Amino acid sequence: MSVRIQKEPFSIDDEIAKIKKTSTSIGAVVSFLGTTRDLSRSKAVSRLEFEHYPGMAEKKLEEIRLRAIRDFGVINVAILHRVGVLPVGENIVLILVAAGHRDEAFRACRFCIDELKRITPIWKKETTTEGEVWVEEHP
């Protein structure tokens, strides 16, 4: 499965090994890793929780993946997003783009994270010193 939403941590080395096994023409793997910070809008974050719309979220990620492969001519794409309560400092989202050339890999990876934020039904709740808030980002 090249698109996954899960509570568990992921290993980037493992995911890269998996994607490399899918083709022998891969020369470049560009990845985006999103991590939780300890500050949000200048307030200390003590706790983060991610929630998704099961079914629709996976479907949107798979759409993004297939469009990236088709529109940028890359070899393969993997997208992982974690949900549930996550401590500060954890890895949240991973996008891997495997390609023959680096140029298309960079552009496809950038496309995937921008689209993920735009069309994937996932929500983040932050607990800061001022209380809990569902974050609304304006990408």
Partner 1 sequence: MITIKLFALLRDRAGVDTLTVAAKACRVDDLLAQLAREHPALAELISSGRLLVSVNQEFATKESPVKDGDEVALMPPFSGGQGQRQ
- Which burial class, exposed, middle or buried, applies to 37 when counting CB atoms under 10 A from its CB (0-12, 13-18, 19+)? exposed
The rounded distance, in Å, linking the Cα atoms of 133 and 48 is 10
Q: How far is the CB of 77 from a copy of itself (least distance, A)?
A: 14
The strand pairing partners of 77, in sequence order, are 97
The rounded distance, in Å, linking the Cα atoms of 99 and 81 is 21
String marking each residue 88-127 x if it binds partner 1 according to CB under 8 A: ----xx------xxx--x-------x--xxxxxxxxxx--
Longest distance between any two alpha carbons in the chain, whole Å: 51
Pairing of strands 3-6, 76-82: parallel
Output DSSP code: residue 48.
E
String marking each residue 11-50 x if it binds a copy of itself according to CB under 8 A: xxx--x---x---xxxxxxxxxxxxxxxx-----------
Q: Which does 119 bind (CB under 5 to 8 A by kind): partner 1, a copy of itself, none?
A: partner 1
Residue ranges in contact with a copy of itself by CB under 8 A? 11-13, 16, 20, 24-39, 89, 91, 100, 102, 105-106, 109-110, 113
Q: Which residues sit at the interface with partner 1, rule CB under 8 A?
A: 25, 27-28, 32, 34-37, 40-41, 50-53, 55-57, 59, 81, 92-93, 100-102, 105, 113, 116-125, 134-139
